[in-house]
Amino acid sequence: MANSSELPKYSDGAVTAETSDSPRETTAILLRRISRALRDPQTEDWLTLDLSMAQLKLLFSLFYRGPATVGTLAHVHGLKLPTVSTTLERLVRAGHVERTNDPDDRRVVINRLTADGAALVERLREERRLRIDQALDKLAPRDVATLHEGLSALAAALGLNRPNGSAATPDVSTVETVR
């Protein structure tokens, strides 16, 4: 593979899919570009959110990982306990998260999504799914099959192939609970 100083660059110095001769480099660039495009807020739900990025991260974490203590969330996100606690308090006031005592240890507080919080995350996820479906509908069946083959290989290389088709998530049950 040519080193990056030999690849043509745009005025900002970025190597692009159009300027790279390397299929590997071009693929990596295209994957980053697609990922960025899918994160770009397009709908009213995203554009009218009154939530910080930290709040969104905690909402999605609770959605994917389930109920968690402040300590577990702080560990998973690499944040300090007071930062997570303050962010969660804002989500509680907004009606997206509720706090309950652990039935086995009343000193432990469990944070979980409310029905409104889960519905918000689902709406935001649905936008991405819809955009992917619309793009796939524009492809010829042969191109979809080729894309499937390539993405399946990439998923396997990343260790994402699971029997139920879901990505592996870190096991937070081994995280020490910080109270």
The domains of the chain, with CATH numbers, are 11-40 (no CATH), 50-114 (1.10.10.10)
For the chain, strand residue ranges (E) read: 97-102, 105-113
Predicted TM-score of the model (pTM): 0.65
Distance CA 105, CA 178 (A): 13
Question: Which of 49, 87, 94, 93 lies closest to 68, judged by CA?
Answer: 87
Q: Which amino acid is at 21?
A: D
Query: Hey, which residues does 135 pair with through a beta bridge?
Result: none
For 18-143, strand residue ranges (E) read: 97-102, 105-113
pLDDT tens, position by position, for the chain (179 residues)? 444 444 444 444 455 555 667 888 888 898 888 888 877 766 556 667 889 989 999 999 999 999 999 999 999 999 999 999 999 999 999 999 999 998 899 899 999 999 999 999 998 888 888 889 999 999 999 999 999 999 999 999 999 876 544 444 444 333 333 33
Distance CA 50, CA 121 (A): 14
